Structure formats: structure tokens, C-alpha cells
């Protein structure tokens, strides 16, 4: 899985940071992409990436503040212009259906694909054979969700050369072994799937939090996650403002990752007051609490594989 940040700013766009939007690229895993929040001008950011809007089949909205949803109408409309025909589902708190449907209706926006909108509460909001997505209410000035994406165990790889050495020819028998089925050859020899297929691997766990103060729900969503994305609108010197506006500091975000036993932390939703060396200081302060801390920038991309995070683009 790859995570690409399209907007990493707080409140309103700045020259360096657009408003919140994060794409989870799962083309390798399921042939689609998921979008988390859709701040103003998200589709403009997409134009500078290989991301294709028609490949986005799920959008998870954390809350209804404008810097997290004002890009939705334009993106939904453009997805039609760009040949999108596959269904799209939006998940979010109460009010998201009314806002999207009213905007589409009043603007006369024509969609060429089925649009489903699910207003969700705490608990499992999506589940299939590959992934489970859980939500919980965070602590912000309006209702705001955090999401935990859990990948289910990944089937082990078929050791093709080992299977061939045991007499399995190319063709459907290899597929049977891959599916966990034992195979009997014409000579009566039985080749066991367990002998040529590696054991399943644990899937990845990713936590993407909306705007929030330091809170227990964030820690629970981040429990033993491979990667946590947490807002850091303020720093250690502006802690009093963080609590007042329902946001977190970089230090509080690091505490969440530390107390949750997470592996990696990416800070986003960075106030425009932090530029240049101040951003470096934000990272260093947080890293003094939780060493594996990164600061997200617009267009930064990270790969999550086998519990490790690789920076693809800074």
C-alpha cells in the first residue's frame, strides 16, 4: 500500500500546503484507491500526480469542516468527465449525505456512476475479504471520526520452482496449490499445498485520524498500528491554543503513537505559521517522544510494506 498526501495544511490553503486530502493507493492489492477527506482544490492536486479519479471507489470523510470537504463537489463531477462509471461510496458523519446531495442537486451536476453515501457511527464501517475499516469518535469541536484500516492476513506465496521440482506441470494445478488445495498426480503422488506455499503474512494496519485533541479514542484506533497519521496543528509552545480549538500539538500526537505501541507516525494538518526551519523543529520535538516520526508535505508519498515505511517522495 502507498499513502500520498495531496493536502497537509490546517484551516485554509497556503502557498506551501493545501487543505486536507490523503490517498491510499491499493492498486496492487485491489485495483482501486481510497481517499480520506477532500479539502478544497483536491482535484487540482491530483492533476500533478498519476492518480486517476475513476480509480477512487471509496471516500472516507472525518468531519464536515470546510477544509475537509469543500473539494468533494468538483471531484465528484470531474470523475464523470474522466470516464468514471464504477460505483463510488462516501462514508462520513451525519450531515454528509444532505450536504453532498444538496450540492449536486442545486448545481445540476450530472454523475455517470452510482453514488452511495453512508453516514456512519463508531464500529466497523466497511468489511470484505481483504480489509476491515473501523471508526471511532475523536475529540474535536464538531463530531469527527478517525479510521483504522486493517488488512487481513495475506496468502503466502507459491514457491513455483519447488512445485515444479515435485512434478507439478504448468497450468491449473499450480492454482489449486496456491488456493490451499492438495494435488494428486497421475502416478498417485500427493503434493501438499502446505509444502509449496509459504505461510500467510500479517496484513498492514493503518490509522488515519481526523482533527482531534489528545484523546483515548485516538490511542485505541492506533493500537499497534504500522502507521498512524495524526494532526499536529500546534507545537509545544502553543499547547494552550490546541486545546482551545480542538486540535493537537506535535508532542501530543507523538504521545498517542507511543502509548498505542505504533511503529511509525506521520504528522499532518500543519498550521501555516510553521515554515522552513520551524517545520524541522516540529519533527524534532515530536521525535524526542516518538522516534519514528515524519512530517507530511503536499505530494509526499510513503510505501507501507511488511510493517516498514519507505519514503517514496518527500
Side-by-side strand order, sheet with 301-305: 115-119, 88-92, 56-60, 32-38, 21-26, 2-7, 301-305, 308-313
Which of these is catalytic: 37, 67, 226, 235?
Answer: 67
229 by DSSP, 3-state: which? Answer: strand
* Beta-bridge partner residues of 3: 24, 302
211 is in an annotated binding site: yes
> Exposed (0-12), middle (13-18) or buried (19+): which is 172, by Cβ within 10 Å?
exposed
112 by DSSP, 3-state: which? Answer: coil
Cβ(283)–Cβ(267) below 8 Å: yes
269 is in an annotated binding site: yes
202 is in an annotated binding site: no
Q: Which residues contact 68 (CB under 8 A, 6 or more apart)?
A: 19, 20, 37, 38, 39, 61, 62, 210, 211
* Beta-bridge partner residues of 33: 25, 56
67 is in an annotated binding site: yes
68 is in an annotated binding site: yes
Evaluated on CA atoms 74, 79, 80, 86, the torsion sign reads negative
Q: Which residues of 173-190 are buried (b: 16+ CB within 10 A; e: fewer)?
A: bbeebbeeeebeeeeeee
Q: Rounded to whole angstroms, how far apart are CA atoms 291 and 89?
A: 36
240 is in an annotated binding site: no
Tell me if residue 67 is catalytic.
yes
Q: Rounded to whole angstroms, how far apart are CA atoms 236 and 50?
A: 37
Catalytic residues: 67
Annotated binding site: 63, 65, 67-68, 140, 211, 269
Annotated binding site for Zn(2+): 63, 65, 67-68, 140, 211, 269
Amino acid at each position: 500500500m502507498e499513502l500520498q498526501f495531496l493536502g497537509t495544511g490546517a484551516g485554509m490553503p497556503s502557498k506551501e500546503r493545501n487543505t486536507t486530502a490523503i490517498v491510499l493507493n491499493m492498486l496492487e492489492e485491489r485495483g482501486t484507491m481510497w481517499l480520506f477527506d477532500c479539502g478544497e482544490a483536491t482535484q487540482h492536486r491530483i492533476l500533478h500526480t498519476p492518480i486517476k479519479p475513476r480509480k477512487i471507489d471509496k471516500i472516507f470523510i472525518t468531519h464536515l469542516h470546510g477544509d475537509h470537504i469543500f473539494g468533494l463537489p468538483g471531484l465528484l463531477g470531474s470523475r464523470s468527465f474522466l470516464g468514471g462509471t464504477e460505483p463510488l461510496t462516501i462514508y462520513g458523519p451525519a450531515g454528509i449525505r444532505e450536504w453532498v446531495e444538496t450540492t449536486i442537486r442545486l448545481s445540476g451536476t450530472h454523475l455517470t456512476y452510482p453514488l452511495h453515501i453512508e453516514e456512519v457511527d463508531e464500529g466497523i464501517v466497511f468489511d470484505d475479504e481483504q480489509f476491515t475499516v473501523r471508526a471511532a469518535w475523536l475529540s474535536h469541536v464538531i463530531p469527527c471520526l478517525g479510521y483504522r484500516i486493517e488488512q487481513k492476513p495475506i496468502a503466502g506465496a507459491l514457491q513455483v520452482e519447488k512445485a515444479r521440482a515435485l512434478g507439478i506441470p504448468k497450468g491449473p494445478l499450480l492454482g489449486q496449490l496456491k488456493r490451499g488445495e492438495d494435488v494428486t498426480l497421475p502416478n498417485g503422488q500427493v503434493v501438499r499445498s502446505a509444502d509449496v506455499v509459504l505461510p500467510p503474512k500479517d496484513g498492514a494496519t493503518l490509522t488515519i485520524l481526523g482533527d482531534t485533541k489528545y484523546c483515548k479514542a485516538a490511542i485505541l484506533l492506533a493500537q499497534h498500528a504500522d502507521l498512524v497519521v495524526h494532526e499536529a496543528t500546534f507545537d509545544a509552545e502553543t499547547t494552550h491554543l490546541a486545546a482551545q480549538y480542538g486540535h493537537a500539538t506535535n508532542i501530543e500526537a507523538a504521545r498517542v503513537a507511543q502509548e498505542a505501541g505504533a511503529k511509525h507516525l506521520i504528522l499532518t494538518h500543519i498550521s501555516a505559521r510553521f515554515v522552513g526551519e520551524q517545520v524541522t523543529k516540529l519533527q524534532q520535538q515530536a521525535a524526542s517522544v516518538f522516534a519514528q516520526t515524519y512530517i507530511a508535505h503536499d505530494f509526499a508519498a510513503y510505501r507501507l510494506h511488511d510493517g516498514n515505511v519507505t519514503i517514496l517522495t518527500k
